[in-house]
Amino acid sequence: MDLTGGVAIITGAARGIGAETARRLAAQGARVAVTARRLADAQAVAHDCPRSVALVCDVADRGSVEEAVREAMLTLGTPTILVNNAGTIAPIGLFGDLDADEFAAAIRTTLIGAAFCARAVLPHFLAAGGGRIVNLSSGAAHAPLEGWSAYCAAKAGLAMLTRSLALEYGNAGVRVFGFAPGVVDTQMQAEIRASGINRVSKLPRASLALASEPARAIAFLCTDRSDEFSGGEVDIRNSAFRHAAGLPPIGA
């Protein structure tokens, strides 16, 4: 999975899946824009990534997104890959108990932020004859979980955005994927365990996957070997996808 010549922008790359994806894509030859809301966080990850740049990007702020894309282009070249990883599980709680502004902010970060990023790179993808967008999805996009109304609604919207972009721009060479990474040992999972509100919060930390595995899967989606999965939702637990991506069978 040689990504030499590729230029990737990764949102929410300060830790977890975003950070591991930045390291994986860089190791496979891509030039990587590591973005986070705090520059120091992005720099800490970029330090591990050759041919990378650390950039501030608040995906909920369209101006911040557009500036990050401009800076990435100036430093690394025309983007060919976007990984929309930034998102939030908060606020957690029964819908009637949630702060309305916090609910709206969650939708803006997880869904609207991904749309801002896709809109910022799309003209460059079209001018170059194509590109690849990986939207971090979740089983919560398709099945509700108690206490996660904001997260579920945002991920459901993101799943439809994935399908819409693939439909509208697939013929122009733009490949768009929704990728559900499974239950991974990240800061988000720590917040979920602390809430104690649904069955996912009861999962022991020892049962969670490492972020390195979804990073490998995302790297596969950044290659033309994954074109058959464009426009749909890909779950890392799907055996056909795991085989195509070179991941070991579950339980192996």
The set of catalytic residues is: 151
Cβ-based neighbour number of residue 167 at 10 Å: 11
Please answer whether residues 192 and 89 qualify as being in contact, where contact means their C-beta atoms are separated by less than 8 angstroms.
yes
DSSP characters for 94-142? -GGGS-HHHHHHHHIIIIIHHHHHHHHHHHHHHHHT-EEEEEE--GGGT
For helices 212-221 and 16-27, give the axis angle rounded to 10 degrees.
50
Q: Which two tokens stand for residue 142?
A: 């398709």
Please answer whether residues 222 and 6 qualify as being in contact, where contact means their C-beta atoms are separated by less than 8 angstroms.
yes
DSSP characters for 132-184? EEEEE--GGGTS--TT-HHHHHHHHHHHHHHHHHHHHHGGGTEEEEEEE--SB
Spatial CB neighbours of 112, under 8 Å, sequence gap ≥ 6: 60
96: burial class by Cβ within 10 Å (0-12, 13-18, 19+)?
A: exposed
